[in-house]
Every structure is written in C-alpha cells, then in structure tokens.
Structure 1
Amino acid sequence: MLDLNFKGRWRKYQKQVLDRFQDYQADGHVHLVAAPGSGKTTIGIELIARFGNPALVLVPTVTIREQWVDRIQTAFLENEQKISDLVSQNLKEMKALTIVTYQAFHSAMNQLQSQEDGEAEDFVGFDLLASLRAQKVATLCLDECHHLRNEWWKSLEAFRKQYEQLQVISLTATPPYDSEPELWERYIRMCGEIDQEITVPELVKEDTLCPHQDFVYICSPTAEESEHLRQFEDRKWEYIHQLLVNPDFQALVSGSKVLKGDISSDVLLEDPKYLSAILIYMYSQGLTIPDSLENLLGAKRLPQVNSYWLELLLQSVLYQTPDWYEDSNGFREKLESELKARGLVEKRQVYLVKSKASDQLLTQSLGKLSAIADIFLTEYESLGQELRQLVLADYIRKDFVTYLGDGQAGISQLGVLPYFESIRRKAQEHEIPVSLAVLSGSVVILPTDVVAELKELLPQVPLSFSSIGHLDPKDYVQVGFPSSAKGIVAAVTELFQRGQIQVLVGTKSLLGEGWDAPCVNSLILGSFVGSFMLSNQMRGRAIRIWPGHPEKTSNIWHLVAVQAQALITLPGEEPRPESNQDLQTLSRRMEHFLGLAYNQESIETGLDRLDFPKPPFRKKQISEYNERVKSLSKDRAGLRKKWQDALVVADRFEIVTEVAAQQQKIPIMLQFDALKWVRMSLLLLAVDLLLLLFRLRLIRVWWLTAACLLFFAFASWRYLCYKSPYKRLQSLGEQIRKALLDLGHLTDGQSRVQVEEDKGNYMIFVYLKGGSMRNKELFAQTVGEFFAPVDNQRYLLKAEKVRQDQSPYYAVPSLFDKRKEEAQKFLDFLTPTIGHYHLVYTRTEAGRKTLLEARIKALSNKNDRTLTKKKVKSRLE
C-alpha cells in the first residue's frame, strides 16, 4: 500500500466517486470528468492510493506536474514525511509515484532527447518498459489525455499494447464528446467508459465553485488600424469591381475548356463548386452558357456572383484547376501578382470572403489595450481594495521594457508589459492607489513596498532588485533571481493572496494552467492564442472559492475586436459575420462554457446567452453594449442571487444539448398527406349524407356512416398532429433516436426526446433527456446534420414530389453514411415521419448533379442554419 492519507474532508461529489470506487474499477478503469476547480487532482491521488500499487502519472505540462507534487505534499503527507522518498519527476529515477509530462513519456518511449521548459533529458538507449517493470508499476493515471498531439497518442497506445495489465485512472475537464466515432472509440479504449461527470453548475450549487459571469468587451480598432482596414477594403473592392468587367478576365473564363466541352462531366462533377463558380460568373455578366452545362448543373436559375463564388473562381483559375483555362496572353500571372499585391493571396489560397491580414489586425488590435484599462477601472470602482485581478497574455514583449513608465511612449504590441503599462497609466490618470505586478518566467516586477515581505518569504533565495525602464524605483522594481531558484511564483502568489498586490499581469503559460490563487475575483483573458482546453483552464483560475470569503463572486472578461461599420460588398451580398476570426474564436469558446444567461434564469452555453449584438456593428451599438456589461459586472450581489434562482429548479438537474430548427425546415410532407385524408373523409361523409337525404339507399347501413365519421376523426387527429411543427419535430426526433439505437450508436434505451418552442424567434428546440452526455451529443449532432445545408454529404434524401414550403433535400448524417445499407435504414426509420423521400448517393455522376442542385438551393437560402447549445434542465422536467 502507498503511504498516502488524505488530511482534509471530502466534498459531497468527491465522496460519491470514492464510495463507488469498487464498482468503477471493476473494468480496470476509473474515468472521471470534472470541471476545473473540482479537485480532480486530489481525487486522482486518493484513487492511486486505493489501488495501492506503484504508479505512473502523466500530465500535460511541467506546471501541472509540480501542482501534483505540491498537492501530495500538502494534502496527503504528514510534516515529517519527505516528498522525495515517495515521488519522482524523472523517469530515470522512479519512485512509488512517478509524475512526468506526456512529452517526456513520448521521448522515453521512442528513446529521444527531450527538451521542455528549460529541462533537458536524454533518453537515447533508455528502456522505459524495463524500468517500469523493475519498479512494478501497475497503475497509470492520465490527466487530460485526449488533448495530446497525435504522435504522443501513438506512444501511449504502443505502451498499452506492450505493457502488462494496468489499472487506469483518467481525469479530464473536457472529454471529446463531439468527436467522430473513431476518435471517441480510441479515447474510450484508452480511458474506459466515463464513470462520473461533475459539471460547473453542480459545483456552484455545492459551493465548490463561486458564482461567476462571462462578460465580452467589444473593442474597436484604433484610428490608425481602422484607416488601414478601410483602405484595404477599398482597394480590394475597387479591384474586384474592375476585375468583374475586365475584358481579359472575361476572355480567360469564357474561353475555358469547360465551356468548350473539352472537360468530361465526370471531372467537372468531382468537385462541382468550381464548375458552379464559372457558370455563376458567366450568368452574372450576361454571357452565354452552353445548354449542356446548364443541364449538367440541374439548376433552373443561378444566383448572382458574390465574394464567395468569385473567390472559388479565382482559386480555380490560379491554383485548383488551372488546366481548365487557356492563357496565351499570360493574364493569369498578372492576375496572381495583382491579388498578392493587395494581400488577397497567401500560400496559394485566395482570400476574398476572409482576409488573413484583416483577421490578424483585428485579433491583435491595439484597441484591446484601452479595453483592458477600462475593465480595470470598472472593476476597481466596484471592488476597491478588494479587487484581485488577473490579466493573462500570450507574450511578455521584453522589448517594451525601456518604455515602461514613459507615459508618452506609443504601444505597438499586445502582451504582459504593454498590459501592465496600460493599467498603470489608467490608475495614474484617475489617481487610484492600486498595487500592480508582473509575474512571468523571466520578468518579475513588484511594487517597491512589498520587497521586504518577499525577502521574508524567500530567505534562502539570493534576490536582487533594480530599476526598470522609466518607472520610479520608489514605486516599482524588477526582481532578479537565479534561474534555478524555486518558490518565486509561490511567493508572489502569496503576496497577491494577502492583497499586497491587487492586479497581477502574467503569461498564460505560467499562470493559465495549474496555477492556483483562490483570491482571483476578476480575470481578463488578454490571450489571442490557444485552444478551448487552455481557455477553459484559464477561466478555471477565477472561479474557485476563496476560503474565508464566502461572498466571493468572479467576473471573466473576454475581448473581441470588430469593425464598427458595414463592409463594402457586391450588390445584394450581406456582410458575413464569420469573416472576423476574433469573433469566430469567441463564439467557439462560448459554445463550451456553461453560464448564466443575462435576461433569464437559465444556465446554458453560447454567445446568445450574453445578448451579444448581431452584425453589422455600429459605434453606438458597441458603446451601449459595453456600458451595459460594465453596469452588469458591478452587480455582484445580483449575480449571486441569479445563480441561486437558476439552480433552484430542482435538487437534481442534468445538462442537455439542444438543437434549434427553424419551423419552415421541419418536414411537412405528412401534413399534406393528413390534409388529403381529411378532405377524402369529408367527401365520403358528404356522399353518405346525400344518399341518406335522397333516400337512394336500398338498405339502411348505419355502420357506413359510422365508418366515415371514424375515418374523419382519425384523419383530423392526424392532421392536427402534423400541422404542429412542434409535434412533427417530436416525431422526427423520436425516429432519429430509434435509428441511433438500432445501429448501436446510443448505449441507453431509456433516454427520451423532448421538444420546446421559442415562438418569438420561430425556433423549436429538440434534445435528448436522460442517458450519458455522449449520447446527448450524438443525438444533437445527428439532428443538426440532418437539418444542415447541403454541402458535400455522401448521401442525400430527396423528396419524390416537392410541395410548397417543403424542403426538397435533407442530409443523411455522418453516423449513417458509411454504407448504403445504413443510410437506407436511416431513411426507413424516418419515412413514417417525413413522408416520401428517396436515397441519393452523391458520388456518382447523377448523384453529383443532384448534390450540385441541392447546394445551390441551400446557398440561396441564408436561413438554412441550425443552432446547438447546452443547457441545464431539471431532471423532473
């Protein structure tokens, strides 16, 4: 047995996991999903202790590795016990508990040299498997393993195949619920089935996480950036309008081998969007299109050319299918040169819908500097000396050191030091006595008046203090320390906890993951690089409870830069909100964060819960939104009450994944059929009554009248059922659930389909209630793909007879498109609900033609979109 004894008191949900340990470990795996701040590490250590064998723990980063070691020391060992006797952080010097990063493990498995965070290790010639066997390691603990690079996954899978039976503990905050079946199966093979899920709302309800709220501050580009963007757009659209009517360009396209019939239909339909782009351009310019190509395309009317189709055409001309065009005059080379000169081509990709240059400018807009300073001021006005604000950045920007303290110096980059200086200037402008600090791996700046306390916290570390930039040494000093020194981060964190530091600016690599300071009550995510996993970890820094401060609430601030005017477009073309990468990143981030909605007592995911404005954006709209969120951020008592009200729905609740479908997209065929039955029954009833009226009946057969009445009643009931899109979607969802069950994609037959109506927005939400989160995700994914616009799906469902307001096409979801038999079975399940559709395989010539027709119709309908979000529901609903 490992000599580990937990010294604290288990939380309710932690105790549930431990009480079920015997059941969970029956398959050799314990798989726990829990939000950041739930104490996964502590549970993991206890599970290792209960297995009782020497263990190998694999973690994502060096910071988290050290967090594991610290947690073992503080929560499981008595003071006289030495951590070094029990724990090793080196695979070459294993102990009963060996904790290393996935990178080090990968290097050891492949006998490579490893280099991470300044730590070098040479594993050439090292036999990892033999060393593990010698240490008798029989427990493997995986922390956030599904986020690994592919080559690290391969090393882990090779290890599992070669090593003897292992007991596996898997801990994660973000399992890949929405991944492809193959990736999910790979994940489950490694980690085992999920044994328990612990969500953020549950943790807030149990006072394990504090009440919190996400706020988005909309940043406008600086005047210089706006002018740059305006000039870029002006130049782009001026050139595009000239290009559309350029005789050389028209000659290049109209002289295409495609239009001459020199390219086979099979080749054209392999990727038909390029054919579509040619014909749409020709149509928009009033140029002649061969009848054979119109027939091949299958569309009666083509849309007008827009930036999407022109981008595809240029991509075809320059890079994708240049052999389709005869270019005797060398126009193509000139075209490419002109597009590159305007920043519209990068790495052989044409950008008209999106612009890499504009995206980068907005993502790294200097407007975020004033936003961060404004957020600081707002939070200080609300909390005063109680403020504990953490600001995270991607880079330090050491070259800015010389400008610190110079209030006239311009700031040209985002990063730790520019953020520090922006906040310092704002505090100076408003005469705010706030203590600011910088904490990164190589630069530490502290208020001068905390130096004595720092020395007391680090008596064994030789520290030096010097002036930095133009900052007055009476106010701030830079801390120098040996590269091997330990405890700097812990000491500065302690000063932060004590309130000697109120605003701490640092790098996400050091403080964004694994670092723990429960006092943080305001977090500004000034990072523009990173995955959802990392942003989730960063967010987790702010939402922990603060022992001794039960009133703590926390605000998490996200920054997004947008242009405060509508873009110039082609006639009839709407601005595309997705063209802004910064906004896209924010939207993806919010898809995963469960939090309070601003205007209702609900907990859900998605940007809509924050009442985020819809583009195109206007300056007044942006200003009003920012003022509103700043006002909301100050109502911390109201925030706590809203969480209480939202969580009072029931003692037990579950997370569901809702899919919203627009009413006009829900299959309507059987409504027409039912209406036809109603009319037929009325006709029969009328004939029967006429026969009675004119005494044409020789024999009184009352059962015929009764039969007519019953048929009318049944037909009317059926019509009323299918007249309601709510009931039609309920029926459709149930058939999809049965299809998923039949093919083995759902593991729980006890789940049920629920439908809710949002009459104001003409949307209907459908979701699966009960069962695992994976089942809910698969159901939502399948429904969403069924309603999705036609793009390049392998199978489509095509209506045999198109009725008014009926969608002629639906997509066969990816879970059913691998084999024709499965696609057909999906249709068979849906036929009783959607009516007469037939299966179209789109990888044949005829199928590609149908696909092309369907895509053009889908693209012409701008409303063909579905919305998916998670939401907290009472188990009793």
Structure 2
Amino acid sequence: MPAPTSLASWRFTGTLRHYQADVLDRIDVVAPGPLHIVAPPGSGKTLLGLLLAQRRGARTVVLAPTTTIRSQWARHAASLSRDAGALSEDAGNPGDLTVLTYQALSVLDSANPFADLARRRWLGDLEQDGRTAEAAEQWLSDLEAGNPQPYKRGIASRSRTIRRQLAKENPETLVQALHPNALALIDRLVAHGVETIVLDECHHLLDHWALVVATLAARIRATGVEPLLIGLTATLPSPDDANEYDNYTSLLGDVDYEVPVPAVVREGNLAPYRDLVRFAEPTRDELAFLAAHADGLAVLLRTTFAHQTGLAFLIHKLQPEPETRDELEPPAPGVDEDRRLARAFADDFGGSEAAAAMLATASPQHPLVSLLPDVARRPPTTDESLRLLARFALDRLLPNPDEEARWRRIRRTLADFGYSLTDRGVRRTRDPVDTMLASSLAKDFAACDILRIEREALGDERLRALVVTDFAEHGNAHGGLVGTAGALRTLGVVVADTATHTLRPMLVTGGHTRIAARDADVLVPALGELLGIPVAAVPLLEDTQVAEVHAPGVGAERLVRAASVLLTRGTVQVVVGTRGLFGEG
C-alpha cells in the first residue's frame, strides 16, 4: 500500500446513495488493473471518484476535459478535505490531490514538430490534383510569401492529421513531440509521487490523449509503483474507429461497474422521464433549395467564369505564355492562338478541354471560341466545372489577400451544395440533403412548439425547460444559404417566436451568454447580484431582439451556476445551452 497522505483523513459526512455504496463495496482499489465505471449524468460520479482515491490513499491527479469540470472536482474535493492546502489546480505546484485538464498534459510543442511533414503532404495533395512537382512547390512558396495566414492554417491542419496517425502508428514519436512544459509536468507528477490517476469523462480518451495518459502511467510504473487508473464516464465511446477504441480499451479495459439509470431515478437524483421524438419537416424555403440545388450549382459555376477574373483565367488556361524562341517570333495572323491552344491541350488535355467547354458556355461570343473544335463547344460537366473552380480559386484567389472575401464567398456557397473548397482543391463532402436536415430551422420552430405545449400544460409559474444543442454553432458551418444551426440560432428563434416570445430565456455556451433584450431590466441586476460584479447587456447588431451579456472575468462554470439558480427561482424559464456544458457536468 502507498504511504498515507492527507486523502486518508478525508471524511464524507453525507449519506451515500445505494448504488454508490454498492460500487464502494464491490470495487477493490488495491487489486492490480484499472477501474472502469459507467454511470449516467447526475449519479454522483465525482464523489465516487474522490472516495475511491481516498480509499487508495495515495497522491492523486484528476484529469477533466474542461476547466468548468476541473473546478467542480476541486470544489467537491474541498468539501471532503480537512487540509485545503493539499488540493491544487496548479500544474506547477501539485498537491496531494491535483486537478488538471487533459489539455494541460498533452499540449504539443508550439514550434510544430510536424511542419516539414505537413508541407510535404500538402505538396503531394497538389500533385494529385494534376500539378507537376515544380508547379506545386512554386504555388506553395508563393502562397507562403503572399498570404501567410492560409498557409499557416494549411500546415496546422495537416499537422493535426499527422499527429493522429502517429498516435496510432508510433506513440513514442508523439510523446517526443509534446511541448517541453507538458513533458516537465508528467515528470513533475511522477516525482511528486502520484499513484492514482482519475480520468473524468474518460470517453474522451481517444486518439493522442489516451496515449499521453498511458505515458504518464508507464513512467509511474517505471519507478516500481503500479498506478491505479479510475475511468468515469456516462457514455462509452463507439467502436467504429477500431484504432481509437483500442487506445481506450487498452488503457481502461472492460467495464467494472455500470450504474443502471432506473437506480438513479429511484434515488430521486434523476427525474423520471419519457423518451419522445418530434419529427420536423424542413421549412418551405429549405425544401425549395433542395429541389433546385443542382441547377443552383451550375449557375454558380458558370457565373464565376463569366466574371472578368474568371474569364481571364480561362483564356490563360487555353493560351499559355510562350516558352520557346519560335513562339516569341511574330506569327502569321491567327497562327499564334492556334499554336498556343495546341500546346495547352498537349500539356493538360483534361484541364484544357474543361476550360474550352466552360468558355464556350460562359462567353460564347469570345473570339477564341471560334478556334475551338466542335466537340469542345458544349456545356462542361459538373466534375469539369468543379476542377476548374478549384484551380481558379487556388491560383487566383487564395494567394491574394485582397481576394479573401471572394474566396470565402465561393467556399460558403459550395458548402451548401455538398462540396468543400480547401487549400488542396474541391472535395465532395456531406450530401446537401443531409446537411439541410441536420441544420433545418424547422427544429428550432419545433422546440418552440414543444415549449408552447408544455406551457399550456404547466403554466408560466411551473414551466422550467432546458434546450440542449450539440454545439453553439454546427451543421453547415461554412454555408451561406443553408445556414448554421446550434444554440445561438435557437435562442434567437425562441426570443422571436410568437409561441415563446413572452417567456424569459437565457443562453449559456462556452463563449456566449445571451438573453432577450426586452428582459435586460430584470436579468442584468439578477445576474449582477449572483455573480457579485457589474453586468451589462448589449443588443446584437444582427438581431437587436437578442442581447449579449458581458460579465468580465466570469467563466462558463459560474454562468452555468447562475443560470441554474435563476431557472430554479423562475426568474428564467428556459435555458438554452450546449451538451458540452449541460450534458457533461
């Protein structure tokens, strides 16, 4: 057994729930191997983890996915501890119980050790799109010099992909790529004598987080001590990605104890509930978009190349610059165009054929069209058009900072049609029908209708509702026509909808706190009283019915607690938020 620490003196003076007592009776913290516990939200996993660590008695590190959840662990631990100085949230000064985020332990070196590999991968992407190695190198160098921001984004994106692959194929390489501060933290925890590792919301332990935690455990093991890993989660990860799932199971093994949902309901810690489904049909405008999206894509592509810049791109594609001395000599009338057209087809037949078809369609009166063979005077196929658009965007727009708005506009529009414009070309992504269904505005209207029905059944005095979305903004995040779903949009609909506009809603996400502007006189003083600081609410420019709440220095954790208090009091009747805050602590 480890040497006792202040954890051994912890005392829980409350009453354990029956299933909590059952877990503590059944689980042996001395036996070798990890502990893997699955329990639904509201079942008291935090208390279980702390009491298991207390029973083990060794110095402990708790790892949590967010700073909000990290603070909750520290607060619960303080209620058990007789020595507040033994608790720490400071990575530089660990205590007998240290609570950190997974990110603190796994941040990569800011110098980006994968940058060279990322650049080589990018060059390969460009060559796959039909460029020569020399042309790919020249394009990437021009982008780096002319518009460094998208260059840096491209390197960072490919570095993340390489990191994930290395996590699967060569974990030691990944560990070597950790930031020196992260490596120093691992060594500090080992030297401090940490023997118990509590992994909250451990379903997040996929990809490199699992491997970094495994590294910490291995270094503790190298000192001659067998660490105890305690994994706590409400949701087991999906086995769809076999590599990531193997990382998870190799760390935590099979489930040792699963708390059944009915047991939590019976104890009164989870409200009785019924699973109900509300089907929402897309709005009339969304259905019209779906019916016409194929024609809309064709219009976008053709109008792009009817524009002066796009037309100049087609001409340059079909009339490349002279390369030889013969080509520089004055030719007979009409011969130069024919000669350069022949060279364009010889150098890149597919690209030139697509450019010829697009020129004949977008600008049929252009003099060059008369020199094209009859088979080239036709509408381009969708694939040809997209290939041209990708090359146009990469060669003429992305390297030029002045064309940033146009690049974004084309990218946003393509996203609505199920295509992604990236720094390596155009790629097929999610089907536009799926995108529309995922982000349909009808879902927000359905939420308002459900609130209306509940309001009629319960009355305003009893109505308390939580609307949970996947993210603050999600769905077609890059699109312009389809739009973006999520908590921010949902609140705006709840504020404006005739069925709910007299309710008092509040939104809390990781980055935003919003209320209806009409409720500012009531909610701003109430929030100021709860938070203990001056609070202000400023109407949004794009929707003056909604106001952004400003509470300087207050994090999401305190705002969630304030929203909970206001909901309990009935000052707020509807809280809109994300599952990251309300579904995971």
**Any idea what SS the aligned residue of 2:274 has?**
strand
**2:503 corresponds to:** 434
Q: Kindly indicate whether the alpha-carbon contact (under 8 Å) linking 1:146 and 1:176 is maintained by their aligned counterparts in 2.
A: yes
**2:347 corresponds to:** none
Mapping 1:43-82, distance limit 5 Å: 43-74=48-79, 76-77=80-81, 82=84
- What's the offset of the Cα at 1:94? 0.8
Mapping 1:520-669, distance limit 5 Å: none
Mapped to 1, the partners of 2:566 and 2:482 lie a distance apart of: 29
**1:501 corresponds to:** 572
**1:159 corresponds to:** 216
**1:511 corresponds to:** 582
Matched, 1:464 2:539: no
**2:197 corresponds to:** 140
Residue 443 of structure 1 is aligned with which of 503, 510, 513?
A: 513
Matched, 1:337 2:384: yes
Mapped to 2, the partners of 1:468 and 1:349 lie a distance apart of: 34
**2:96 corresponds to:** 96
Matched, 1:421 2:478: no
RMSD of Structure 2 on Structure 1 (CA): 4.1
Mapping 1:786-805, distance limit 5 Å: none
**Any idea what SS the aligned residue of 1:55 has?**
strand
Are residues 435 and 173 of structure 1, via their aligned partners in 2, closer, same or farther at CA, if it must alter by over 3 Å?
same
Residue 5 of structure 1 is aligned with which of 11, 16, 21?
A: 11
Matched, 1:489 2:489: no
Mapped to 1, the partners of 2:188 and 2:111 lie a distance apart of: 16
Mapped to 1, the partners of 2:69 and 2:110 lie a distance apart of: 24
**Any idea what SS the aligned residue of 1:56 has?**
strand
**1:390 corresponds to:** 466
Q: Kindly indicate whether the alpha-carbon contact (under 8 Å) linking 1:112 and 1:123 is maintained by their aligned counterparts in 2.
A: no
**1:200 corresponds to:** 261
Are residues 77 and 435 of structure 1, via their aligned partners in 2, closer, same or farther at CA, if it must alter by over 3 Å?
farther
Matched, 1:169 2:241: no
Amino acid in the other structure paired with 1:388: R
Mapping 1:700-779, distance limit 5 Å: none
Mapped to 2, the partners of 1:430 and 1:349 lie a distance apart of: 42
The one-character-per-residue Cα deviations of 1:417-471 (angstroms, maximum 9, x if unpaired) are 4322322333xx3587522222233333363224443333233x23335555699
**Any idea what SS the aligned residue of 1:495 has?**
helix
- What's the offset of the Cα at 1:377? 0.9
Are residues 45 and 338 of structure 1, via their aligned partners in 2, closer, same or farther at CA, if it must alter by over 3 Å?
same
Mapped to 1, the partners of 2:201 and 2:209 lie a distance apart of: 13
Mapped to 2, the partners of 1:192 and 1:139 lie a distance apart of: 16
Mapped to 2, the partners of 1:56 and 1:64 lie a distance apart of: 14
Q: Kindly indicate whether the alpha-carbon contact (under 8 Å) linking 1:439 and 1:445 is maintained by their aligned counterparts in 2.
A: no
The one-character-per-residue Cα deviations of 1:802-853 (angstroms, maximum 9, x if unpaired) are xxxxxxxxxxxxxxxxxxxxxxxxxxxxxxxxxxxxxxxxxxxxxxxxxxxx
Are residues 124 and 235 of structure 1, via their aligned partners in 2, closer, same or farther at CA, if it must alter by over 3 Å?
closer
Mapped to 2, the partners of 1:378 and 1:153 lie a distance apart of: 45
- What's the offset of the Cα at 1:77? 4.3
Q: Kindly indicate whether the alpha-carbon contact (under 8 Å) linking 2:494 and 2:501 is maintained by their aligned counterparts in 1.
A: no
Mapped to 1, the partners of 2:94 and 2:566 lie a distance apart of: 35
Q: Kindly indicate whether the alpha-carbon contact (under 8 Å) linking 1:420 and 1:438 is maintained by their aligned counterparts in 2.
A: yes
Amino acid in the other structure paired with 1:196: Y
Mapped to 1, the partners of 2:182 and 2:244 lie a distance apart of: 32
Mapped to 2, the partners of 1:36 and 1:421 lie a distance apart of: 28
Are residues 337 and 462 of structure 1, via their aligned partners in 2, closer, same or farther at CA, if it must alter by over 3 Å?
same
- What's the offset of the Cα at 1:11? 0.8
Mapping 1:338-417, distance limit 5 Å: 356-384=431-459, 385-393=461-469, 413-417=484-488
The runs of 5 or more residues in structure 2 that have no matched partner are 113-177, 299-353, 355-374, 390-413, 474-480
The one-character-per-residue Cα deviations of 1:614-653 (angstroms, maximum 9, x if unpaired) are xxxxxxxxxxxxxxxxxxxxxxxxxxxxxxxxxxxxxxxx
Mapped to 1, the partners of 2:255 and 2:499 lie a distance apart of: 52
Residue 150 of structure 1 is aligned with which of 207, 211, 224?
A: 207
Mapped to 1, the partners of 2:418 and 2:255 lie a distance apart of: 47
The one-character-per-residue Cα deviations of 1:80-123 (angstroms, maximum 9, x if unpaired) are x64xx232223212111111121211128x7989xxxxxxx975
- What's the offset of the Cα at 1:135? 1.8
Mapped to 1, the partners of 2:182 and 2:77 lie a distance apart of: 31
**Any idea what SS the aligned residue of 1:99 has?**
strand
Are residues 355 and 177 of structure 1, via their aligned partners in 2, closer, same or farther at CA, if it must alter by over 3 Å?
closer
Q: Kindly indicate whether the alpha-carbon contact (under 8 Å) linking 1:107 and 1:123 is maintained by their aligned counterparts in 2.
A: no
**Any idea what SS the aligned residue of 1:202 has?**
helix
Mapped to 2, the partners of 1:184 and 1:139 lie a distance apart of: 23
Q: Kindly indicate whether the alpha-carbon contact (under 8 Å) linking 2:206 and 2:244 is maintained by their aligned counterparts in 1.
A: no
Matched, 1:18 2:24: yes
Mapped to 1, the partners of 2:101 and 2:198 lie a distance apart of: 11
Q: Kindly indicate whether the alpha-carbon contact (under 8 Å) linking 1:203 and 1:209 is maintained by their aligned counterparts in 2.
A: yes
Q: Which has the larger radius of gyration?
A: 1
**Any idea what SS the aligned residue of 1:127 has?**
helix
Q: Kindly indicate whether the alpha-carbon contact (under 8 Å) linking 1:411 and 1:418 is maintained by their aligned counterparts in 2.
A: no
- What's the offset of the Cα at 1:50? 0.8
**Any idea what SS the aligned residue of 2:46 has?**
helix
Mapped to 1, the partners of 2:213 and 2:465 lie a distance apart of: 39
- What's the offset of the Cα at 1:204? 2.8
Amino acid in the other structure paired with 1:200: V
Residue 229 of structure 1 is aligned with which of 265, 290, 294?
A: 290
Name the count of aligned residue pairs.
392
Fraction of identical pairs, as percent: 31
Are residues 509 and 21 of structure 1, via their aligned partners in 2, closer, same or farther at CA, if it must alter by over 3 Å?
closer
Q: Kindly indicate whether the alpha-carbon contact (under 8 Å) linking 1:138 and 1:166 is maintained by their aligned counterparts in 2.
A: yes
**Any idea what SS the aligned residue of 1:94 has?**
coil
Amino acid in the other structure paired with 1:453: A
Mapped to 1, the partners of 2:102 and 2:229 lie a distance apart of: 15
- What's the offset of the Cα at 1:365? 1.8
Higher helix share: 2
Mapped to 1, the partners of 2:542 and 2:380 lie a distance apart of: 52
Mapped to 2, the partners of 1:145 and 1:506 lie a distance apart of: 22
**Any idea what SS the aligned residue of 1:215 has?**
coil
**Any idea what SS the aligned residue of 1:218 has?**
coil
Q: Kindly indicate whether the alpha-carbon contact (under 8 Å) linking 2:540 and 2:548 is maintained by their aligned counterparts in 1.
A: yes
Q: Kindly indicate whether the alpha-carbon contact (under 8 Å) linking 1:58 and 1:142 is maintained by their aligned counterparts in 2.
A: yes
Mapped to 2, the partners of 1:199 and 1:143 lie a distance apart of: 18
The one-character-per-residue Cα deviations of 1:676-708 (angstroms, maximum 9, x if unpaired) are xxxxxxxxxxxxxxxxxxxxxxxxxxxxxxxxx
- What's the offset of the Cα at 1:209? 2.2
Are residues 8 and 453 of structure 1, via their aligned partners in 2, closer, same or farther at CA, if it must alter by over 3 Å?
same
The runs of 5 or more residues in structure 1 that have no matched partner are 114-120, 238-317, 319-328, 398-409, 515-877
Mapping 1:856-871, distance limit 5 Å: none
